[in-house]
Amino acid sequence: MTILVTGATANIGRKVVDHLLAAGHTEVRALTTDPRKAALPAGVAVVEGYLRRPETLPAAFDGVERMYLAPTPDNVAEVLALARAAGVKHVVDLSGEPESWWGTVSTAVEDSGLAWTHLWPADFMENTLTWSQQIRDTATIREPYPDTATAPIAMDDIAAVAATALLSDTHQGRAYPLAGPEILSRTALVAHLATALGRDLAFRQSSREETIAALTPTMGDNAVWYVDNVLTDYAPDPGTLPITSVSDITGRPATTFAEWAATNASRFLTP
């Protein structure tokens, strides 16, 4: 059974490849824009293509039975039509609830006629890397809402869930909201980072404009969108979150933020 991983050199897709191989699956095909620079493990069939260039996809889809679909809302319906025509049977997509911006992906997948599994993750632990410039320059994180909380999830755990869903029929027709194993406020995240980095860090409640200015060096023009559409969605009491989802699906413990921070500490300190 050949499994195609799209976005195979991107943050999550690359980890999906690793988890499939770790599970003993040997027929893994990886879609990438530049196979020469992909640096994927031996035994992975690397093919050139790009989801936003549908004309590059038919050869990549040939002989594929299952596929991990990285999100491309602008042309996802065309991609899925090509996949179905090539004989793909099951799609595991990274998307979001139907009412969200990423929901266009999950809706298109369901409309495609293919078997599907949706992965709807909470915010990524990796999003805290947007604080890296502030940490290096002032050791102070500036955001408007110190007490709002989420259950951030590690990208590696999302990839582990994706690989699990790709390797079994039991996950077809399921939409999985995914979250990390604990609910943490913004100040708690900063405290964990301080421990991992071995230095004092402060959280300073700031205005919208101050926050955008602080995030722009790492996020560029996306800082405005992030402050207005992501940070405003967090709440002091986030309610019931699927904090056991990763272990429920994969059978292994999810990564805690403290563990992730310790592993990734150097990424906050190196420009």
The pTM is what? Answer: 0.96
Written out in words, the top-level CATH class of the domain with range 2-121 is alpha beta
Handedness of CA 229, 256, 258, 192 (dihedral sign): positive
Domain boundaries, the chain: 2-121, 125-152+181-269
CB contact set of 259 (below 8 Å; sequence gap of 6+): none
Structure tokens at 143: 């955001």
- For 176-193, write each residue's pLDDT tens digit: 999 999 999 999 999 999
Same topology between domain 2-121 and domain 125-152+181-269 = yes
Q: Which residue has the tokens 């933020």?
A: 257
- For 213-251, write each residue's pLDDT tens digit: 999 999 999 999 999 999 998 989 888 899 999 999 999
DSSP state, 162? H
Structure tokens at 22: 């770790």
Specify burial of residue 200 (Cβ count, 10 A radius: 0-12, 13-18, 19+): exposed
- For 20-77, write each residue's pLDDT tens digit: 999 999 999 999 999 988 899 999 999 999 999 999 999 999 999 999 999 999 899 9
18 pLDDT more than 90: yes
270 pLDDT more than 90: no
Q: Which fold has domain 125-152+181-269?
A: Rossmann fold (3.40.50)
Q: For the residues of 81-110, what is the DSSP string, one character each?
A: HHHHHHT--EEEEE---TTSTTHHHHHHHH
